[in-house]
Structure 1
Amino acid sequence: MEVYDHLPLPEYKGNLQRRKRRGGGYRFPENRQKAEYYEKNISKANEIVRSFKEIKTKFKGKLTPRLIYRIKVNQSVDYKTFQKTLYSLGGLTVLSVSEDKKGYWVVFSNDEELQVFKDKLAQYSGIQEGKKYNFFDAIDGIDDIPKEEKIGDLIKKEPPEPGKVNYFNVELWRMEDEDLYKFISELKNTYDDPRKFRITDQLITKSFALLRVKMTTEIFEELIELKEIARIDRPFYPSFRPYEYNQIDISGFKVLPPDDDAVGILIIDSGITSNHPLLEKSVGGEENFQEVEKETQDVVGHGTAVAGVSIYGDIEKCIVEREFAASNWLFSAKVMYGEKDLRGNIWAVYDEEKLLESQIYDAIRTFLDNPEYKIKAVNLSFGSVNDILKEENNRQFPLAALIDELAQEYSDVVFIVSAGNQHPGNFYELEEIVENYPHYLVENVDFRIINPATSALSLTVGSIASEPRYFNPSFGETEENMWTPIAKKHEPSPFTRSGFGINGMIKPELVHFGGNLILRDNYGHLTENIGGELVLLSNNPTEKLFAFDYGTSFAAPQITHLVGLIANQFPHKSANFIKNLLLQSAEIPLLPRFKGNQNQKLKSTWRVLGYGFPDYEKAIHSFDNRIVLLDEGEIGLNEIKVFTVNLPKTFFETKGRKRISVVLTFNPPTRATRGDSYLGNRMEFKLFHSVHPSEIVEKYAEINLEEVGDETTPAALKKYEIDLVPGTNIRKAGCHQKGWKEYKREPRNLPNPPLTLVLINSNKWISDESYKQPYCVSLIVEHSEKVQLYDMIRTEVQQRVRIR
């Protein structure tokens, strides 16, 4: 089949007016009695002041405590207006905002007696004369942040024992730098015995402030009372399982290094075995970012396995073909080390003295700041099984927030993260697994994605199963009556985790082969058949060149491998561009057997499979009957761009399946404290047919993007809009968006040229009004028949596209 370069997506130029935002009022809550409201909140205010004074007395001469509490907001409010309102209540500074702007807002107050709050509350309630202060309509009340909500899940599962010294992650509310650094400095000097208290590491970014603290249980109980403390938990630990297997002779294999001009891939993991005969020709550099194991060598085995997949893809295919041709140069950052248990098993462990976030921060900067490495992909195949994204009141995890900040800064590098694993045997017997698969993946909250898979700017990768197979059944057994494969080929792996992500964004976005579970019940104990696992590289090549394992840990580097291949073709393109091509090439290979109506089934599918399984050839090439049109550029806040292409009528008139697909990728600033919108700006797209783009421009000039809310299609254009799936509100939650329309038969009302794509950029909290958002948008038209579309569209585009 003939292959072609992708085509530019022509932009239609038109003037769009921007209107200034108008302020809105507040709704008075039903059944509110102002006198009762006053008494309740005066009592709460006095309680907050009393508890704060106790803390000041307790830490007098050591710490200068800050008054931090929370305000419950009962309706969606304009952030900028409400932020100013809160500041008028005694200089309240917003530290954290709830989702949808409703719920708990965390604030820092300069008014330690809450006197201004009390006075204005009294005037609002009619207790004393004065102004109305109707903003109280939006406030249900104020409250101290309960100590229980600051304690992490690991501590709740395993409370610290009296007299013991443990390591903890202590997250602070992200105050202004001056207050934050002063507090940390004072905290370091509060306890003078380093055997009982010591801050061993810290990391402060735009979104969070995190400390690694070694302290006694008694000091832990004191610190949890401090209002500056947002959360304390035991340190992060990895969720994967190294598993080695038998040796294969590779003496006759062809092992080829990457091309000299190939770009680099960075693996952040347990290190690599750089002298492995299948890796040694591809290693561009390796460094150690933990201090327990001094060598860079991979003791655990996980990093070597991940590295092998990232540069070779399908290891088993390489074995069959007897050729290992590395796609990219390999770089390794070691952030974990191996530790043996009493049985001699080796487990991955993190340096107790250092924050994992600090190690990753140092590792990424060290490698990505070196231009000679030409690194275009960073793979992180680990996650914290205890940091599960909850359905409500979720807040971005520090590690995921860090990755997003770095991904925004290093805008030419694609970050890839595994979705995480959860074994159904932890919850169900074999019959229950078979009966409840795949429904438990979306119904059981313990299968939700984990930190750092919630990262918005990374590509999060889930796992699908390959063809079921059985390994070495015992004599007299048959595969059919002894082993039960849980998933069919291309169905979700029975252990993969599901979304949605922060603010409902589609996560994971992509899937790849990560293995299956093939089980049998052995007297009440689940036994796994190794045939469900993938072939990987072993970290002990002198004993065993290959290992077997399964997990999203190994699906993620399959995507990293594809990113590396695409980046070799487009080495100077941005991460937005590379991710766009990858997402545009993806398709859901098989609809899982989910319950419910069609909409419910589709929603469950997107939660588990995202946009599907990508294809390298489709990512880098256009074909006669499948044409990719792209535009990469920048767009201002609260602005739109319009693109148009005159699709030939033969596209619809020729019988066969037709598909139109749009992908948008962008890299907005993020902020973990903004639960209402983790992304600083939201982008979306709308697709229209049979209407001239000038009319679309005219209608969009009449609306104010800051005021329209969820519906951004002007009423007059509704009948021309092509309804894409997933719907707009699901798509626009994230910064990796895809929508498509399939015509399986001739449309009753045949769409007419042109196709017009509208790109919309709405500001959420970015203060710099001159900010320009980089993006990449692509439009695909595809026909199942051998229709010669490419030349027709290329000719039309070349006549209209503006030379840049």
Structure 2
Amino acid sequence: MTSLIERALWEADTQIDTELLTYAKRRDLFRCIEAVRSMTREDRIGPKLKSFTENIAPDTGFFIVNVDVWFNNDRTKKLEIEHQIRQALGTQGSQLLGDLFEISGLLLGRVKVNEFSLNALLNLDIVCMVELPFEPIEQEPFILYSQNFTPILNDTLDDDAPLATVLDSGVFTGNPLLRTVVVAEEEFDTTEHSTTDFNGHGTGVAGIVVYGDFHDSIKNQTFTPLVRICNGKIMHNENDTPVFPEEVRPEKIVNDAITYFHDTYGCRIFNLSAGNANSIYQGGRQFPWASMLDDLVRELDIVVVVSAGNVIDPVINEFSSRDDLMQKHAISYLILNID
């Protein structure tokens, strides 16, 4: 109803301010809209899922997808929306895995479907997007130590030192460079029933967070920690790759972890080094992952450091000048870490 009122005011060019929009903001907002139309089934299917369904085998059976549902932030309607989703899925094995997770403007869920229940989802007007869960970016190989390398630890941090949370595959706190700086640990991916790192990625990231530039430290063999850390385990090891659990949306896990360490330990700096090579922002609606992080940053007054552009053996172009760079390569794509 509010949007209809704002549209009517814009069409009549009524120069009044409302609680939602000033006249100037309303004018600028509607001028940016090129067209308004109803969403189609094709609009609701993600690129990975579209490719998957075009080549789906007849005997594929059940598989898991992410579903994003439009939401006007009226929590009294949440159960009704969940009922619509479950009704569309039917009673033949397809199911909503857990409750829908709320962010601004969307409800996020994870659903077990087959070809038939997927089609039912895609035909629902309340559905914004259906997509396959994300596949993590392959990590680069790394070696923490060689046999003849003995680090010297120069830890001068006290209880008032800066605190940052590492959201990753866990941290191996027995590492001699990290065991004195880990303040707290908690697992939000309970697959391995441990906060320790069985993959290695989280421990490597924790080292960068704590020490920053390793080059001088390795050269001098002296390591001086800059911050203390909390270990927020949000992924587990699977075939030597850090992955999120299958039954829960990553957005919810990350949201729970950030909220916990902020409320419990007063942490306001968070590092999130997880990425999805198939989710590259190219304009249009903001991804749910980014929207969720934006909400948390505003609500909790925190900083979230997100890795971007992580690829194996990146191509580094050379340019003759800054103008050459701006003219030939003005468009860049940001790899966002989302589901």
Length-normalised TM-score, structure 1? 0.36
Question: Which one scores higher on RCO, CA 8 angstroms, separation ≥ 6?
Answer: 2
Q: Which residue of 2 aligns with 1:674?
A: none
Q: Which residue of 1 aligns with 2:304?
A: 415
**How far off is 1:338 after superposition?**
1.3
CA contact (8 A) 2:104 2:291 kept: no
Distance change in 2, residues 1:99/1:247 (3 Å): farther
Q: How many angstroms apart in 2 are the aligned matches of 1:441 and 1:274?
A: 47
Distance change in 2, residues 1:442/1:330 (3 Å): farther
Q: How many angstroms apart in 2 are the aligned matches of 1:295 and 1:441?
A: 50
Alpha-carbon displacement from aligned partner over 1:315-354 (angstroms, at most 9, x marks no partner): 22112222222222111111111111xxxxx112211100
Q: Which residue of 2 aligns with 1:451?
A: 336
Q: Which residue of 2 aligns with 1:259?
A: 158
Q: How many angstroms apart in 2 are the aligned matches of 1:257 and 1:295?
A: 29
Q: Which residue of 2 aligns with 1:103?
A: 34
Distance change in 2, residues 1:161/1:80 (3 Å): farther
Q: How many angstroms apart in 2 are the aligned matches of 1:172 and 1:386?
A: 21
Task: State whether structure 2 residue 118 is matched by structure 1 residue 237.
Answer: no
Task: State whether structure 2 residue 68 is matched by structure 1 residue 167.
Answer: no
Q: Which residue of 2 aligns with 1:587?
A: none
Superposed, 1:608-687 pairs within 5 Å as none
Distance change in 2, residues 1:214/1:262 (3 Å): same
Q: What residue identity is the alignment partner of 1:449? A: L
Q: What residue identity is the alignment partner of 2:273? A: S
Alpha-carbon displacement from aligned partner over 1:519-544 (angstroms, at most 9, x marks no partner): xxxxxxxxxxxxxxxxxxxxxxxxxx
**How far off is 1:262 after superposition?**
0.9
Q: Which residue of 2 aligns with 1:357?
A: 251
Alpha-carbon displacement from aligned partner over 1:543-566 (angstroms, at most 9, x marks no partner): xxxxxxxxxxxxxxxxxxxxxxxx
Superposed, 1:683-694 pairs within 5 Å as none
**How far off is 1:314 after superposition?**
1.3
Q: Which residue of 2 aligns with 1:589?
A: none
**How far off is 1:251 after superposition?**
3.6
Distance change in 2, residues 1:295/1:178 (3 Å): same
**How far off is 1:199 after superposition?**
2.6
Superposed, 1:60-79 pairs within 5 Å as none
CA contact (8 A) 1:242 1:300 kept: no
Superposed, 1:93-132 pairs within 5 Å as 100-105=31-36
Give the number of equivalent residue pairs: 316
Q: Which residue of 2 aligns with 1:213?
A: 111
**How far off is 1:156 after superposition?**
2.4
Q: How many angstroms apart in 2 are the aligned matches of 1:441 and 1:322?
A: 43
Q: How many angstroms apart in 2 are the aligned matches of 1:424 and 1:101?
A: 39
**How far off is 1:227 after superposition?**
0.5
Q: Which residue of 1 aligns with 2:241?
A: 347
From 399, 406, 409, give the equivalent of 2:296.
406
Distance change in 2, residues 1:211/1:25 (3 Å): closer
Instruction: State the SS of the aligned residue for 1:102.
Output: coil
Q: Which residue of 1 aligns with 2:228?
A: 329
Q: How many angstroms apart in 1 are the aligned matches of 2:327 and 2:98?
A: 38
**How far off is 1:185 after superposition?**
2.6
Alpha-carbon displacement from aligned partner over 1:221-269 (angstroms, at most 9, x marks no partner): 1110010111000112322514123615444623426222113100111
Identity %: 26
Distance change in 2, residues 1:180/1:269 (3 Å): same
Instruction: State the SS of the aligned residue for 1:244.
Output: coil
CA RMSD in angstroms, aligned pairs only: 3.4
Instruction: State the SS of the aligned residue for 1:385.
Output: coil
Q: Which has the larger radius of gyration?
A: 1
Alpha-carbon displacement from aligned partner over 1:189-241 (angstroms, at most 9, x marks no partner): 55454733333352112332111111112110111001011100011232251
Q: How many angstroms apart in 1 are the aligned matches of 2:173 and 2:328?
A: 39
CA contact (8 A) 1:202 1:358 kept: no
Q: Which residue of 1 aligns with 2:287?
A: 397
CA contact (8 A) 1:197 1:214 kept: yes
**How far off is 1:419 after superposition?**
2.2
> Which blocks of at least 5 consecutive residues in structure 1 are unaligned?
1-22, 28-76, 84-96, 106-142, 341-345, 454-804
CA contact (8 A) 1:239 1:420 kept: no
Q: How many angstroms apart in 1 are the aligned matches of 2:167 and 2:10?
A: 48
Q: How many angstroms apart in 2 are the aligned matches of 1:193 and 1:326?
A: 55
**How far off is 1:388 after superposition?**
1.8
From 283, 294, 298, give the equivalent of 2:182.
283
Q: How many angstroms apart in 1 are the aligned matches of 2:11 and 2:173?
A: 64
Alpha-carbon displacement from aligned partner over 1:287-322 (angstroms, at most 9, x marks no partner): 111132222221222211111111111122112222
From 183, 199, 205, give the equivalent of 2:97.
199
Q: How many angstroms apart in 2 are the aligned matches of 1:439 and 1:348?
A: 35
Instruction: State the SS of the aligned residue for 1:158.
Output: helix
Instruction: State the SS of the aligned residue for 2:277.
Output: strand
Instruction: State the SS of the aligned residue for 1:420.
Output: coil
Q: What residue identity is the alignment partner of 2:333? A: R
Q: Which residue of 2 aligns with 1:366?
A: 260
Q: Which residue of 2 aligns with 1:270?
A: 169
